[in-house]
């Protein structure tokens, strides 16, 4: 019988403290997430110092629970995989220090995981047949990147945002409209009651490039709201949300279709927090079909930050003997792929 490989994944890059055990990169034995969303909501966004302090309080109980839920002990684990970037440096250091302590104390190998690669690898759980090469659209609070996953360890960047990330645009517009943090899900909820064609917001499509730019769209939405308020007009918040969401989705889908046609790839995966957006999933699935390709996206709980994705990514690094020294440091601006 093939040996079972159990990877303990640890994640603390932003406002979720998470740990998970995944067997052979496929079977989720546990998935523990302690979220700080309600704490940061009072401040309208993540406060780094508070995030670090909360991670310190939660990291060991979360890891203990992940092992208990998996009904395993540390000696049953084959490697400890931990996010070492990108993210908030103080937050990253908490998970990284815990992982190093466990690796040192137990003699287990340490694996340093790129958080964004983790988001991409969550898709291996959604589609058992998924195999590189495929296209990936990473849309999170800090990143918007389009890349080719050439094999399990080679990522070629086609384009990325030149200003705001997609999630950041959602969060900023939500904040401007007085909606709570994080804004993406709130905009999506409001948009459900609005008309996506009501307001013709700009679709910034940078020609001859797979790069994105959302700051002009953000300003257009803010200007629209200001102008309508000054006119004393009755503003439909639902229509603003729906039309704004549609503009972002349109830009993302257009670029993905172009990239699918240019590369000839037949599968595209969605990754990062914004991948939870149902309108994006629906529009990208139909856009992909139009060019003879298929969309894969993670299940809802694996769209936002979690440690399952870290363990899955770690599993493929384990197979590649890609181990990190105990001197591994946090890298807050760790990049995804090479140009």
Please give the size of the binding site for Zn ion, defined by CB under 5 A.
Answer: 2
Give the DSSP H/E element, type plus range, for residue 124: helix 123-126
Pick one of 84, 124, 170, 201: the residue that binds ligand KG4 (CB under 6 A): 170
Does 16 engage in binding with Zn ion (CB under 5 A)?
no
Residue number, 133 or 180, with CB nearest to ligand KG4: 180
The interface mask with ligand KG4, positions 257-276, x = CB under 6 A, is ---------------xxx-x
Residue number, 45 or 101, with CB nearest to ligand KG4: 45
Does 164 engage in binding with Zn ion (CB under 5 A)?
no
For the beta carbon of residue 236, count every other beta carbon within 10 angstroms. 17
Does 167 engage in binding with ligand KG4 (CB under 6 A)?
yes
Query: Is residue 270 a contact partner of residue 296, using CB atoms and an 8 Å limit?
Result: yes
Cβ 239 to ligand KG4 shortest distance, Å: 17
Pick one of 8, 10, 14, 334: the residue that binds ligand KG4 (CB under 6 A): 14
Pick one of 90, 95, 112, 182: the residue that binds ligand KG4 (CB under 6 A): 182
Does 305 engage in binding with Zn ion (CB under 5 A)?
yes
For the beta carbon of residue 129, count every other beta carbon within 10 angstroms. 8
Interacting positions 104-143 with ligand KG4 (CB under 6 A)? 140-142
Q: What distance lies between CA 169 and its chain's CA centroid?
A: 15
Cβ 298 to ligand KG4 shortest distance, Å: 11
- What radius of gyration do the chain's Cα atoms show? 20
Distance (Å, rounded) from C-alpha 305 to C-alpha 133? 24
Distance (Å, rounded) from C-alpha 232 to C-alpha 219? 20
Question: In Å, how far are 176, 191, 217, 225, 228 from 235, measured between CA atoms?
Answer: 14, 14, 18, 8, 7
Instruction: Assess whether the previous peptide bond of 187 is cis (omega < 30° from 0).
Output: no
Pick one of 140, 144, 239, 277: the residue that binds Zn ion (CB under 5 A): 140
The residues of the shown chain that bind ligand KG4, judged by CB under 6 A, are 14, 140-142, 167, 170-171, 182-185, 188, 272-274, 276-277, 304-305
């Amino acid at each position: 019988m093939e040996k079972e490989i159990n990877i303990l994944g640890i994640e603390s890059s932003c406002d979720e403290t998470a740990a998970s055990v995944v067997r052979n990169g496929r079977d989720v034995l546990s998935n523990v997430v302690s979220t700080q969303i309600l704490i940061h909501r009072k401040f309208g966004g993540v406060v780094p110092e508070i995030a670090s302090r909360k991670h310190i309080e939660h990291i060991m109980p979360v890891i203990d629970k992940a092992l208990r839920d998996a009904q395993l002990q540390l000696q049953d684990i084959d490697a400890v995989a931990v996010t070492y970037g990108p993210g908030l440096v103080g937050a990253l250091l908490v998970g990284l220090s815990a992982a190093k302590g466990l690796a040192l104390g137990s003699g287990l190998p340490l694996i340093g995981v790129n958080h964004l690669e983790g988001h991409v690898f969550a898709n291996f759980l959604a589609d058992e047949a998924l195999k590189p090469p495929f296209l990936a659209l990473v849309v999170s609070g800090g990143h918007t990147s389009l890349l080719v996953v050439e094999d399990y360890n080679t990522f070629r960047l086609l384009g990325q945002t030149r200003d705001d990330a997609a999630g950041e645009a959602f969060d900023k517009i939500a904040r401007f409209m007085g909606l709570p943090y994080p804004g993406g899900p709130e905009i999506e909820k409001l948009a459900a009651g609005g008309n996506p064609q009501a307001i013709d917001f700009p679709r910034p499509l940078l020609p001859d490039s797979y790069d994105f730019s959302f700051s002009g769209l953000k300003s257009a939405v803010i200007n629209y709201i200001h102008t309508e308020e000054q006119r004393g007009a009755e503003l439909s918040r639902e229509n603003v949300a729906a039309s704004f969401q549609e503009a972002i989705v349109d830009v993302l889908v257009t670029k993905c279709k172009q990239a699918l046609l240019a590369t000839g790839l037949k599968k595209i995966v969605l990754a990062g927090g914004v991948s939870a957006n149902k309108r994006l999933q629906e529009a990208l699935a139909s856009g992909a079909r139009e060019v003879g390709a298929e969309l894969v996206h993670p299940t809802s709980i694996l769209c936002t930050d979690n440690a399952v994705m870290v363990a899955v990514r770690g599993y493929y690094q384990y197979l590649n003997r890609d181990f990190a020294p105990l001197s591994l440091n946090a890298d807050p601006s760790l990049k995804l792929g090479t140009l």
